[in-house]
Amino acid sequence: MIDAGKHNVLGVGIDAVDYDGAVARILHAARERRPLAVSALAVHGVMTGALDEAHRYRLNQLDLVCPDGQPVRWALRLLHKVRLPDRVYGPRMMLEVCKAAAEQKIPIFLFGGDQSLLALLSERLTSRFPNLRIAGTRASKFRTLASEEWIDLGREVRESGAQIMFVGLGCPRQEVFAFEFREVASMPVLAVGAAFNFHAGKLAQAPPVLQRWGLEWLYRLTREPRRLWRRYVLLNPAYVTLLALQKVGLRKPDTAGCEPPQTPLLYG
């Protein structure tokens, strides 16, 4: 098990952690009913923080930020000589947590997407893990919530009996949600991105060989070019450039110098 603390990648604190280390922290917090905000960031997620000071503050307040993409894992090695056996891929982390939750009888809550997606996801998860208890689900409203709606959501999640909450709102909204909802929920809140669509069978995952070589982005670009071309064509070269500047010392991003956001977004 590896859990070697946070390391600065473009100003975002990335945890040098493996699957066992991540799952152990999440399940420990769940058993203690303690808040824990978790995300798994690939290049796009890191760049949302590198280019936006307010969001960088949010990301650096999360308790556990896993290196989702191979290029993020490689950055830990390049900048900090941290060698991890693999990335901590959000969709796989979700399955590992669900497996452990089923074994330990820890109920979960699913939040995000629409009701049809949640129904299909719930069916597939319980088919894969028969002892998994899904205490509740809630579809996203795909907008900013009124304060009363935010309070109602918190009450619904807490009263469901869940001890772990999975959030699939897409990056960066899900990280904002995890940052803002952690204390409301009083449990681990895991931002897992496209995992909902992958595990519900709505989206196909990249072949393992592309995942190993850090080319999952290319596969996803071929599947959704109109939606994703700006993300990958513009951000990937920017990531490499900023990483090189940090490596040679021409750019020294700070993980602690950001101002907190002035107002919460309450997206749900």
Q: What is the DSSP string of 48-80?
A: HHHT-HHHHHHHHHSSEEEE-SHHHHHHHHHHH
CATH classification at residue 80: 3.40.50
Q: What pLDDT is attached to residue 65?
A: 98
Q: Report if residue 220 sits inside a domain.
A: no
Q: Report if residue 94 sits inside a domain.
A: yes
Q: What pLDDT is attached to residue 68?
A: 95
Total tally of structural domains belonging to the chain: 1
Q: What pLDDT is attached to residue 233?
A: 75
Q: Report if residue 138 sits inside a domain.
A: yes
Q: What pLDDT is attached to residue 219?
A: 72
Q: Report if residue 253 sits inside a domain.
A: no
Q: What pLDDT is attached to residue 217?
A: 73
Q: Report if residue 79 sits inside a domain.
A: yes
pTM above 0.75, yes or no: yes
- Cβ–Cβ < 8 Å for 13, 50: no
Q: Report if residue 52 sits inside a domain.
A: yes
Q: What pLDDT is attached to residue 182?
A: 92
Q: How far apart are CA 203 and CA 215, in angstroms?
A: 17
Q: Which of 211, 206, 176 is nearest to 191 (CA)?
A: 176
Q: Report if residue 54 sits inside a domain.
A: yes
The H or E element that residue 88 is part of is none
Instruction: Quote the domain boundaries for residue 155.
Output: 3-199
Which residues, 6+ apart, have CB-to-CB distance to 34 below 8 Å?
A: 186, 187, 188
CB atoms within 10 A of CB 105: 10
Per-residue pLDDT of the chain (268 residues; tens, 9 = 90+): 999 999 999 999 999 999 999 999 999 999 999 999 999 999 999 999 999 999 999 999 999 999 998 999 999 999 999 999 999 999 999 999 999 999 999 999 999 999 999 999 999 999 999 999 999 999 999 999 999 999 999 999 999 999 999 999 999 999 999 999 999 999 999 999 889 999 998 877 778 776 788 777 777 767 777 776 677 778 889 999 999 999 999 999 988 877 888 888 989 8
Q: Report if residue 183 sits inside a domain.
A: yes
3-state secondary structure of 265: coil
Q: How far apart are CA 173 and CA 186, in angstroms?
A: 20
Q: What pLDDT is attached to residue 211?
A: 75
